[in-house]
Amino acid sequence: MNDSFLLDGEDIPFTPGQTVMQAAAAAGKYIPHLCWHPDFAAHGSCKLCTVKIGGRFATSCTVRAAAGQEVENRTDELDAKRRTLLQLLFVEGNHFCPSCEKSGDCALQATAYEMGMLTPHFDHFYPDRPVDASHLEVLLEFNRCILCELCVRASRDVDGKNVFALAGRGTRSHLVVNSDTGRLADTDFAATDRAAAVCPVGVILKKRVGFAVPIGQRTYDRQPISASMGANDKAGAGIGEAG
């Protein structure tokens, strides 16, 4: 008989070694997240996946599932905290959804809709983040970065190139390109790299294909992000590192 835990009162089976997030994803259950990806070790930076386990807050992408756990996920309290985190992410960058090439396919935007975020609430930072258009095939729009480090992990762990990194501390943390000039063109980055397709927002953009998909046919036009725990999430939600 499989081990299981309760997620919002529902029995969720798990394999020893799986995290709460992995087990939930394998069962097709949505726990809000931005920095977690089934193909990579957990990072635990966005905190959107925070749940309550036995009444205590914990990041579901890093805590291993255990038999008998009682996990709270989609409660009013937790979703309110997630809305606040999303509002902070929106004001810390420069996010102009109506004119963004990633609109409709953006996990940040879709999660904000899911959580019922209606306003940014906080004052905008309006950071100065120049765009890097030096590469022939790819544009870097740093204004949209949410510091999930998915591109860093993909470039390092899959592509073996270490093209990206995070620099600075606290509110000065930012994404950088690992080249002497800081330009993407001066790296061996390619549009076919895993890192080129992993960004959940609109930072890494292939040139000359923006707005190719009409409104109404984009990923989250068709269904909300909570209903989009698809084959990729399920297939990759096996035993993996918990960070």
Main-chain dihedrals φ then ψ at residue 50, nearest 5 degrees: -60, 130
Query: What's residue 97's pLDDT?
Result: 95
Per-residue pLDDT, 243: 41
| Mean pLDDT (whole number) for 19-44 | 96
As a whole number of angstroms, the distance between CA 120 and CA 88 comes to: 8
What's the mean pLDDT in 110-135?
Answer: 96
Residue 36 structure tokens: 């977690």
Using CA atoms, how far residue 215 sits from 94, 218, 222, 225, in Å, is 22, 6, 10, 16
pLDDT higher than threshold 60 for residue 176? yes
Predicted local distance difference test score (pLDDT) of residue 237: 56
- Position 74, amino acid: R
User: What are the tens digits of pLDDT across the range 69-119?
Assistant: 999 999 999 999 999 999 999 999 999 999 999 999 999 999 999 999 999
Where residue 228 falls among pLDDT bands split at 50, 70, 90?
A: confident
Distance CA(173)–CA(84), nearest Å, equals: 20
pLDDT at 175: 97
pLDDT band at 222 (very low <50, low <70, confident <90, very high): very high
pTM here is: 0.93
**Helix (H, G, I), strand (E, B), or coil: what is residue 58?**
strand
Residue 213's pLDDT is 95
Could you give the residue range(s) of every CATH 3.30.70.20 domain in the chain? 93-242
What are the distances in angstroms from CA 9 to CA 21, 64, 105, 223?
16, 18, 31, 24
Q: Where in the chain is the domain with CATH 3.10.20.740?
A: 3-74
Averaged pLDDT for residues 40-46: 92
Helix count and strand count (H, E) for the chain: 6, 9
What pLDDT score was predicted for residue 231?
Answer: 42
Q: How far apart are CA 98 and CA 93, in angstroms?
A: 15
**DSSP-assigned beta bridge partners for residue 3:** 14
**CATH fold for domain 3-74:** Ubiquitin-like (UB roll) (3.10.20)
Q: How large is the greatest C-alpha to C-alpha distance in the chain, in angstroms?
A: 57
Could you give the residue ranges of the DSSP H alpha helices within 53-209?
76-92, 107-115, 150-157
- Residue 20 scores a pLDDT above 80: yes
What is the chain's alpha carbon radius of gyration, rounded to the nearest angstrom?
18
Residue for token digits 């983040």? Answer: 129
pLDDT at 17 over 70: yes
- Mean pLDDT, the chain, rounded, equals 93
**Predicted confidence (pLDDT) at residue 227 exceeds the cutoff of 90:** yes
* Higher pLDDT, residue 148 or 238: 148
The tokens for 180 are: 């002497």
Segments of the chain assigned E as strands: 3-7, 10-14, 50-53, 56-59, 70-72, 138-140, 164-167, 174-177, 204-206
pLDDT above 90 covers what percent of the chain? Answer: 91
Contact between 185 and 127 (Cβ < 8 Å) = no
Residue 171: per-residue pLDDT: 85
Tell which CATH architecture fits domain 93-242: 2-Layer Sandwich (3.30)
